[in-house]
Structure 1
């Protein structure tokens, strides 16, 4: 049997969500997995190598032109670089690697149909050697949903993650500020490793009832599960259009209702959530708050919510389903 390894340029490229996704891919591929490697010289005799960025593929191909390399595209790096750094150089730098990778990769894993459409339009190519699997790193946890069902009585909100520009954390805080002005008993729990930067944001916006802290991976799911609503606010741009943030699977897995913009294209086309607050891009903050309060005041059935979210995990977030698809790939 052929073997496969994972090449990462740095050890810190591997986090919980990335490792979950990689293990799902590797678990489906009909090859012997021989581990993670961080040096090009160590993969010389490996039959197949999985990489998680376009540049890694190019470097492997320069050293081992005949090596079979499989690429997972987590996001549109050139557009992210342009957004964060406002650098045309970084945009073209990463676009070069992206284009070469799409041409030379033995197989491509994309996180959304929208991502495939983006690449085909941007580079005027037709991609056939592909599998589309959304980003997720959780499975349904009904026990914790019922255990924390009291949360649905309260206006508690959560955001857990980075403060990158595309995460729209400032806009999220503005939404909560308006809601808290009306309902002073509402609470917002913001979990991030960038605690000081988050405190600056909260101070600049002048919002109250926000608790900012770090959380370990072992504790974060339970902390999220104790909150009624989870924010997934996004602007309408290509970075967000093609993404499938893991945050949604985390929220749904523990019964935290998502509040999200309808700009993530595959979420719009692949999911039909009843227990969520989903609003149009450019909706005013006042109308977003009204939508949240309408959802809250209408009440809910925990059993109905569980059925709603179970549907998402039986189809869109079904690990076994994707591994079955992967098993049919011929490497």
Structure 2
């Protein structure tokens, strides 16, 4: 039996980045019988079981249903755990020799950056036990493997699979955009602090003022709930800069990106970002959008040789569409290598998860 420790992906939770990862992994094993344990310390006092095709979804309370949870773990041939957050929930019963941990992100460091020192220490303990003892580790980048090898002073390549989140899409490129009069610069995302919205708005304003030879169109697409907040906080600062503040549905994002030239991915140069693989950055490369970055060290893309525009360059130097087009074309080759790596990793993981079934 394949046992997965996570909530099951559905229409309500699929906007969460974590659940997009769960859905991506589930798509690889959709034809297999499997059980999901969605566990909570507070909810599900009454057991709730759903059947979705050949998948059983158990919503269980960790304290009230510990015997049921233990029974599933004992019967499982493989246990796939999505992140150390979920690993905490089964730590009393986990059998590491049949457990695969999908790390998702560097949780202790993320918590420490939020000044949650006690939580960081707890998850650091769980993470260390998992890194040293799990049968297999699934990382989103090679940079993440390197981080853990350095942190715990152990070689991990033999027990690691590097699998970014990647969804193969048939994208019809808009070649007409390279003869456009406007340089369309886009942001698609939320208003979280790590998105550096203040810096983004300042960059747009300064680029508009410093480079009068460039005809810019700045577009900010945020969730519907954040549109009013964005306008209240930022619209006055960039009102004269030819801007559009709106929202897009999930289905509208890719078609719109194909019409754009530059896209903001303003991540600070910290370990959380160095080991990450933002879906947004992949979508930019897919759509011929050249990323504008504070630091280029995001995941494995520097290693792959991607082209980008630095924030300082964007702010202070005129941009030529011909140059951006050349960079976008180069990034298609980077994307191709990225796709190959992803496909090979998918095959490894499928073989691992179906070996004992």
2:354 equivalent to 1:321:
no
Question: Cα deviations across residues 151-196 of structure 1 (Å, max 9, x unaligned)?
Answer: 7542111111122232222222211111122448522211222334
Of the three residues 178, 193, 197, the one matched with 1:169 is 197
2:112 equivalent to 1:72:
no
2:296 equivalent to 1:262:
yes
The equivalent residue for 2:44 is none
Q: Which has the larger radius of gyration?
A: 2
The equivalent residue for 1:8 is 6
- 1:289: Cα distance to partner? 2.7
Instruction: Provide the TM-score with structure 1 as the length reference.
Output: 0.79
Distance in 2, matches of 1:17 and 1:145, equals 28
Q: CA distance change for structure 1 residues 10 and 321 in 2, over 3 Å: closer, same or farther?
A: closer
The equivalent residue for 1:195 is 227
SS at 1:226 equivalent:
coil
Query: Are 1:137 and 1:246, in contact at CA under 8 Å, matched by a contact in 2?
Result: no
The equivalent residue for 1:222 is 255
The equivalent residue for 2:321 is 296
2:301 equivalent to 1:278:
no
Question: Cα deviations across residues 229-272 of structure 1 (Å, max 9, x unaligned)?
Answer: 111122111111111211121112222222223222521112x2
Question: Cα deviations across residues 95-137 of structure 1 (Å, max 9, x unaligned)?
Answer: 2222232234221111112212222222333323111123333
Distance in 2, matches of 1:107 and 1:29, equals 17
- Coordinate RMSD, CA, aligned: 3.3
User: Which runs of 5 or more structure 1 residues have no equivalent in the other structure?
Assistant: none
Distance in 2, matches of 1:151 and 1:170, equals 31
Distance in 1, matches of 2:178 and 2:35, equals 43
Q: How does 1:64-143 map to 2 (within 5 A)?
A: 64-65=94-95, 68-83=98-113, 85-127=114-156, 128-139=158-169, 141=171, 143=172
Query: Are 1:155 and 1:187, in contact at CA under 8 Å, matched by a contact in 2?
Result: yes
Greater relative contact order structure (CA < 8 Å, 6+ sep): 1
The equivalent residue for 1:59 is 89
Q: CA distance change for structure 1 residues 115 and 205 in 2, over 3 Å: closer, same or farther?
A: farther
The equivalent residue for 2:333 is 311
Query: Are 1:73 and 1:109, in contact at CA under 8 Å, matched by a contact in 2?
Result: yes
Question: Which runs of 4 or more aligned residues in structure 1 lie more than 6 Å from their structure 2 counterparts after TM superposition?
Answer: none
Query: Are 2:289 and 2:328, in contact at CA under 8 Å, matched by a contact in 1?
Result: no
Query: Are 1:137 and 1:249, in contact at CA under 8 Å, matched by a contact in 2?
Result: no
2:276 equivalent to 1:247:
no
SS at 1:144 equivalent:
coil
Query: Are 1:61 and 1:67, in contact at CA under 8 Å, matched by a contact in 2?
Result: no
Query: Are 1:136 and 1:245, in contact at CA under 8 Å, matched by a contact in 2?
Result: no
Question: In terms of mean alpha carbon deviation, does 40-49 or 97-106 score higher?
Answer: 40-49
Distance in 2, matches of 1:105 and 1:199, equals 47
Aligned residue pairs total 314
Instruction: Provide the TM-score with structure 2 as the length reference.
Output: 0.74
